[in-house]
């Protein structure tokens, strides 16, 4: 099957080469010429350099220069993602200062933003995309990370920030282009993508992006298969009005891989390929179908209106047989469960932006309304060695850690079996004010009414209801002593209601509790050193409060306490040093501690999944219009896999590591290019991520990826 998919990709590439060979022309572009990048984002004028973006809407919901946005934002462009051969969020965020990745039990994206782990704070084109699954980059033009909570922009959730994917849309410039890519890599990785933009007239265009991938892994008997297709239509109804409609189908099937267990507070020393549990009985699949539509209109007086609607249906199932404890006496306990989630999201946003002056003061006023309905069905079952009841699966020897015994799935008394409907209505207003020639103020307030009807169907059905009225302010000041340097200070706030980020956490004991709160204080500087290079710096304090813990006086109740505090410094750089040398990278120093003694974890305990120091830097150097090289370095300090407790069992520590990657680029002409990517060139043994003390993912050994892209 692998060879069939590779042959199909090569055949498709060959067809295009033969059809267009007569039209090939030798490239005369120089390294500084944007035609070398061949990035469709540039056609739309949103990207000035391969690794640099100057403007975005993620921080304000308006088209705003990043230098005028008083919050830390990192943008990974399509050019960077292509050059690094990155196709997943977990790999991409290693180049984002202040953002890390957790294992996600081998079935979902899990990012750690400023010390807050999240499986649901994902958005696509600014609209919520919160189901647990692995996303792909086949149809995106850039990945945006807004760091720090900002309920005013995105509503509930986002305690440490959010991740937004900006998708490729039909280009309305009267031109057509066609791009085909094929990639082959270590462990039988085969991947092919297409990106076709067909102009039907100067006002109508169609774009089609699609993906097919089959890959094995350095992990024994672990593989994946994914397909995606995303057609979009763009139609300029008039000079002032544009309609866009898109549909996406995406499917991801893989083995749920939860890595290796620990031994005496450290990852077990074993071959990185060893699978603990049973890969044959650990399937996971995610199916996503989504329809989006947006209408943009510009009035004669400059006022703009945008209405966007997204309907998405998700079908997610995973099952895993895994190491369920630390290694003791040469054996490890085995556990198993499965989980099925079906969700339908219907979301609508309307934004109206007014540009006006009050005397000498300039305003950009945003007003908006957001409506949402999310319907979720969730069922979890626990693995048992008997067909009735719950019986332990026992242990397996470390020397042969595959579980081959009987396996049945039954409902325990704590397994989820629920149905929920979450409805949200929000109104918001924000003003970006030019107070003085060098001083800007941004202030906004959002009101959300968030309501959850929750049917807990375990044993006897229990109907629960939660209502939250959330007020999310944001305030920021920007001082620009010169036009290319901004100094800022900001305050933002977000809430996580008791239903949780996956809308499945309501119970009789927590339904009436106030939501968790996340407050962020930040100061920083943004410096456009020149039109091609941007530097950023930020210092922040992020406080988590209203965390629910067991009442030490009455264990049947919960009390709210101050949860944790994270302080950090972030430095970032993106753009071009010289005509030949492009970079992106950053450094973060973070310190996170608990603020209250919970009974199991003392106050002042260092929190999990948060390295003190991280550093990353990717470089691309073009010797001429034909040859180029890339070199990347990623460093992560040691981390705790789980929150340490006061018990004698130690928290597992993942040691620090440095990983080097490299790439070689060759451009045959304007239409055909190839690249070779090498990951972990010095064969460093390291641990990439963890879910808890005994689910630890080893990092990949030396790996190669060879890709060819044809564009016409």
- Dist. CA 291–CA 412, nearest whole Å: 37
Burial of 305 (0-12, 13-18, 19+ CB in 10 A): middle
CA-nearest of 503, 449, 439 to 476 is: 439
Encode 368-405: b = buried (16+ Cβ within 10 Å), e = exposed: bebebebbbebbbbbbbbeeeebeebebbebeebbbee
Percent of the chain whose predicted confidence (pLDDT) is above 70: 93
The pLDDT of residue 18 is above 80: no
CA distances from 204 to 65, 207, 393, 580 (A): 28, 10, 60, 37
Both tokens of residue 17? 């080469």
Q: For the whole model, what pTM was predicted?
A: 0.92
Residues whose CB is less than 8 angstroms from the CB of residue 369 and which lie 6 or more positions away in sequence, other chains included: 349, 350, 425, 426, 427, 428
DSSP code of residue 279: G
Q: 693 near 641, Cβ under 8 Å?
A: yes
> What does the pLDDT read at residue 92?
97
Strands (E), 133-203: 140-147, 161-167, 177-185, 189-199
Residue-wise pLDDT for 605-642, tens only, equals 999 999 999 999 999 999 999 999 999 999 999 999 99
Both tokens of residue 39? 């990035």
- Dist. CA 568–CA 582, nearest whole Å: 27
Rounded (5°) CA angle 351-347-307: 30
Q: Residue 601 in 3-state DSSP? A: coil
When pLDDT is averaged across residues 186-214 and rounded to a whole number, the result is 97
pLDDT band at 348 (very low <50, low <70, confident <90, very high): very high
- Dist. CA 234–CA 222, nearest whole Å: 40
> What does the pLDDT read at residue 645?
85
Q: 179 near 711, Cβ under 8 Å?
A: yes
Q: 10 Å Cβ neighbour count for 1?
A: 9
When pLDDT is averaged across residues 21-35 and rounded to a whole number, the result is 36
Q: Residue 585 in 3-state DSSP? A: strand
CA-nearest of 152, 73, 159, 161 to 442 is: 152
- Give residue 371's domain range: 2-711
* 547 alpha carbon, distance to own chain's centre: 24
Residue-wise pLDDT for 272-301, tens only, equals 999 999 999 999 999 999 999 999 999 999
Pairing of strands 672-679, 657-669: antiparallel
Q: 249 near 687, Cβ under 8 Å?
A: no
Residues making up the chain, counted from first to last? 712
- Dist. CA 571–CA 695, nearest whole Å: 31
- Dist. CA 544–CA 565, nearest whole Å: 6
The pLDDT of residue 459 is above 80: no
> What does the pLDDT read at residue 648?
61
Residues whose CB is less than 8 angstroms from the CB of residue 546 and which lie 6 or more positions away in sequence, other chains included: 513, 514, 515, 516, 517, 560, 563
CA-nearest of 480, 586, 631, 439 to 73 is: 586
- Dist. CA 272–CA 684, nearest whole Å: 11
Residue-wise pLDDT for 408-433, tens only, equals 999 999 999 999 999 999 999 999 99
Rounded (5°) CA angle 82-87-91: 105
CA-nearest of 197, 25, 219, 30 to 106 is: 219
Q: 610 near 638, Cβ under 8 Å?
A: no
Residue-wise pLDDT for 382-404, tens only, equals 999 999 999 999 999 999 999 99
Burial of 519 (0-12, 13-18, 19+ CB in 10 A): middle
Both tokens of residue 399? 């020397």
- Dist. CA 229–CA 606, nearest whole Å: 43
- Dist. CA 577–CA 430, nearest whole Å: 36
CATH number at residue 489: 2.40.170.20
- Dist. CA 355–CA 557, nearest whole Å: 51
Q: Residue 495 in 3-state DSSP? A: strand
Q: How many independent structural domains does the chain possess?
A: 1
Q: 16 near 712, Cβ under 8 Å?
A: yes
Q: 471 near 465, Cβ under 8 Å?
A: no
- Dist. CA 498–CA 512, nearest whole Å: 8
- Per DSSP, the residues of 515-529 read PEEEEEEEEEEEEEE
The pLDDT of residue 4 is above 50: no
> What does the pLDDT read at residue 335?
97
The gap between the terminal CA atoms of the chain, to the nearest Å, is: 29
Q: Residue 125 in 3-state DSSP? A: coil
DSSP code of residue 609: T
* 706 alpha carbon, distance to own chain's centre: 25
pLDDT band at 649 (very low <50, low <70, confident <90, very high): low
The pLDDT of residue 39 is above 80: no
> What does the pLDDT read at residue 458?
86
Give φ, ψ of 706 to 5 degrees: -115, 125
Residues whose CB is less than 8 angstroms from the CB of residue 555 and which lie 6 or more positions away in sequence, other chains included: none
pLDDT band at 461 (very low <50, low <70, confident <90, very high): confident
């Amino acid at each position: 099957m692998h060879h069939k998919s590779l042959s199909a990709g090569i055949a498709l590439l060959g067809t295009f080469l033969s059809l267009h060979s007569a039209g090939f022309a030798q490239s005369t572009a120089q390294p500084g010429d944007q035609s070398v990048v061949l990035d469709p984002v540039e056609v739309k004028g949103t990207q000035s350099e391969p690794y640099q973006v100057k403007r975005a809407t993620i921080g304000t919901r308006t088209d705003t220069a990043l230098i005028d946005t008083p919050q830390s934002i990192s943008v990974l462009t399509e050019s960077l993602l292509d050059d690094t051969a990155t196709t997943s969020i977990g790999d991409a965020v290693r180049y984002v200062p202040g953002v890390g990745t957790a294992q996600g039990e081998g079935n979902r994206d899990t990012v750690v933003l400023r010390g807050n782990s999240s499986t649901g704070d994902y958005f696509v084109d600014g609209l919520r995309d919160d189901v647990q699954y692995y996303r792909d980059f086949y149809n995106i033009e850039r990945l945006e990370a807004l760091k720090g909570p900002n309920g005013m922009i995105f509503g509930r959730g986002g305690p440490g920030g959010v991740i937004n994917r900006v998708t490729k849309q039909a280009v309305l410039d009267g031109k057509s282009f066609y791009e085909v890519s094929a990639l082959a890599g270590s462990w039988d990785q085969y991947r092919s993508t297409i990106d076709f933009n067909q102009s039907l007239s100067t006002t109508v265009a169609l774009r089609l992006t699609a993906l097919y991938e089959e890959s094995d892994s350095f992990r024994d008997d672990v593989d994946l298969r994914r397909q995606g297709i995303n057609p979009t239509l763009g139609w300029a109804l008039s000079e002032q009005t544009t309609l866009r409609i898109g549909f996406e189908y995406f499917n991801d099937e893989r083995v749920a891989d939860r890595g290796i267990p620990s031994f005496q507070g450290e990852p077990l020393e074993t071959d990185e390929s060893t699978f603990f549990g049973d890969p044959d009985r650990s399937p996971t699949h995610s199916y996503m179908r989504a329809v989006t539509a947006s209408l943009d209109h510009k009035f004669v007086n400059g006022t703009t209106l945008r209405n966007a609607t997204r309907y998405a249906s998700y079908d997610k199932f995973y099952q895993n047989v895994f190491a369920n404890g630390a290694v003791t006496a040469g054996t490890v306990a085995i556990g198993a469960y499965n989980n099925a989630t079906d969700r339908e999201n219907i979301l609508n946003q309307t934004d109206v932006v007014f540009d006006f002056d009050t005397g000498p003061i300039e305003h950009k006023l945003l007003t908006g309304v957001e409506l949402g309905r999310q319907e979720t069905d969730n069922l979890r079952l626990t693995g048992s060695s008997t067909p009735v009841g719950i019986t332990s699966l026992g242990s397996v020897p470390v020397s042969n850690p595959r579980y081959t015994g009987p396996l049945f799935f039954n409902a325990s008394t704590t397994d989820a079996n629920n149905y929920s409907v979450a409805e949200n209505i929000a109104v918001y207003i924000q003003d970006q004010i030019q107070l003085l020639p060098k001083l800007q103020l941004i202030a906004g307030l959002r009101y959300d009414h968030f309501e959850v009807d929750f049917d807990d169907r375990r044993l006897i059905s229990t109907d629960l209801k939660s209502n939250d009225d959330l007020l999310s302010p944001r305030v920021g000041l920007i001082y620009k002593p010169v036009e290319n340097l901004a100094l800022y200070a900001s305050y933002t706030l977000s809430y996580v209601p008791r239903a949780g980020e996956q809308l499945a956490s309501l119970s009789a004991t927590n339904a009436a509790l106030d939501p968790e709160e996340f407050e962020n204080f930040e100061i920083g500087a943004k410096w456009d050193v020149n039109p091609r290079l941007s530097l950023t710096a930020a210092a922040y304090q992020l406080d988590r409060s209203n965390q629910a813990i067991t009442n030490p006086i009455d264990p049947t109740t919960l009390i709210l306490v101050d949860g944790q505090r994270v302080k950090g410094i972030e430095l970032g750089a993106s753009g071009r040093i010289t005509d030949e040398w492009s970079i992106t990278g950053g450094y973060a120093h973070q310190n996170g501690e608990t603020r209250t003694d919970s009974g199991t974890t003392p106050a002042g305990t260092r929190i999990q999944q948060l390295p003190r120091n991280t550093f990353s830097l990717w470089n691309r150097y073009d010797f001429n219009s034909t040859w180029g090289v890339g070199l990347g370095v990623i460093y992560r300090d040691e981390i705790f896999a789980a929150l340490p407790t006061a018990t004698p069992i130690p928290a597992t520590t993942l040691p620090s590591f440095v990983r080097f990657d490299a790439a070689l680029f060759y451009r045959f002409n304007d239409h055909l290019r190839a690249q070779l990517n090498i990951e972990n060139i010095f064969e460093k043994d390291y641990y990439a991520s963890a879910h808890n003390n005994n689910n630890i993912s080893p990092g990949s050994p030396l790996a190669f990826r060879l890709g060819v892209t044809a564009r016409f």
